[in-house]
Amino acid sequence: MIPILTLDGPSGVGKGTVASIIAQKLDWHLLDSGAIYRAFAIVARDNDIKIDDIDDLLKLANNFDISFKLNSNHEPLNVYLNNVEVSSELRTEKTAALASQFAKIESLRKVLLVKQRQFKKLPGLVADGRDMGTVVFPDAPFKVFLTAEVEERAKRRLKQLQERGITGNISHTLAEVQKRDERDANRQHSPLRPAKDALVIDTTNLAINEVIAKVMALIKA
Ligand code: C5P
């Protein structure tokens, strides 16, 4: 049996950081499923494929080549598309907003789901996203759903963007985070929600190490 930890939750909650630290601690593989949706959005845009060109979107999804490399400093990932590094463009809110529009399409999600399941390998997998515990790995033995108040998530998101040299302001970031969460939570297919058997952790007043400790305790128990 291959152990899997699913980490789901809304944007800016800190899933990416928690996932990569835990993957390193356990020496498990890491799946940043949001990076797959973001990368797909970049390639679709570069190929000028629109949201309703379903046939072309599916053709592209079946053919696009994405690979990840873990950064040494617990930053989520370096991402390569056809061997070209796209990490910084991938992390902008503009790319995220485009990704969340493509992420509504059920047939596209089905193709990307196959790619995501290929990350399941020994000795284990940490998978972060929106539907890891509900749809992609419903049988995972360890499921966590991270939440935090939206103002706190906007603050975290802005800090993260600034650390990457991307400018922004808090009210704009708050509006973007709210809009994206609303779209992800209210879509028809694979909406953002906790699995019934997930441990829900409100991280509003928790430091990253406290969140890690809670997740590690779940795995060790
Ligand atoms: O996690 P991240 O912010 O990188 O995700 C970008 C977007 O990709 C999300 O807002 C969501 O629309 C989509 N996504 C998804 N399912 C996942 C991961 C991401 O729909 N498992």
pLDDT digits (tens, 9 = 90+) for 206-221: 999 999 999 999 999 8
pLDDT of 74 reads 46
Q: Which residue has the tokens 């400018």?
A: 167
- Mutation probe of ligand 1 site: the residue of 116, 184, 189 with most atoms within 8 A of C-beta: 184
C-alpha angle 200-97-194 in degrees, rounded to nearest 5: 15
Residue closest via CA to ligand 1's atom 20 equals 103
pLDDT of 70 reads 62
pLDDT digits (tens, 9 = 90+) for 173-194: 999 999 999 999 999 999 999 9
Q: Does the pLDDT value for residue 17 go beyond 80?
A: yes
- Mutation probe of ligand 1 site: the residue of 17, 30, 33 with most atoms within 8 A of C-beta: 33
Distance, CA of 162 to CA of 168 (rounded, Å): 7
pLDDT of 156 reads 92
Whether the CB-CB separation of 11 and 156 falls below 8 Å is answered with no
- Mutation probe of ligand 1 site: the residue of 87, 100, 189 with most atoms within 8 A of C-beta: 100
Instruction: Tell how far the Cα of 37 is from the centroid of ligand 1, in angstroms.
Output: 6
Average pLDDT over residues 113-130: 94
- Of all atoms in ligand 1, which is nearest to the CA of residue 100? 12
Q: Does the pLDDT value for residue 79 go beyond 80?
A: no
Q: Does the pLDDT value for residue 72 go beyond 80?
A: no
Distance, CA of 165 to CA of 183 (rounded, Å): 27
pLDDT of 82 reads 72
Instruction: Tell how far the Cα of 39 is from the centroid of ligand 1, in angstroms.
Output: 11
Q: What is the mean pLDDT of the chain?
A: 91
Distance, C-alpha 155 to centroid of its chain? 18
Long-range CB contacts (< 8 A, 24+ apart) of 109-118? 109/189, 109/190, 111/58, 111/61, 111/62, 112/36, 112/37, 112/40, 112/61, 115/36, 115/66, 116/31, 116/33, 116/36
Average pLDDT over residues 120-127: 95
Hey, what are 202's tokens? 């409100």
Q: Does the pLDDT value for residue 123 go beyond 50?
A: yes
- Of all atoms in ligand 1, which is nearest to the CA of residue 128? 21
Q: Identify the residues whose C-beta falls under 6 Å from ligand 1.
A: 11, 33-34, 37-38, 96, 99-100, 103, 129-131, 180, 184
Instruction: Tell how far the Cα of 50 is from the centroid of ligand 1, in angstroms.
Output: 18
Hey, what are 152's tokens? 């706190």
pLDDT digits (tens, 9 = 90+) for 31-71: 999 999 999 999 899 899 999 999 999 999 998 777 776 65
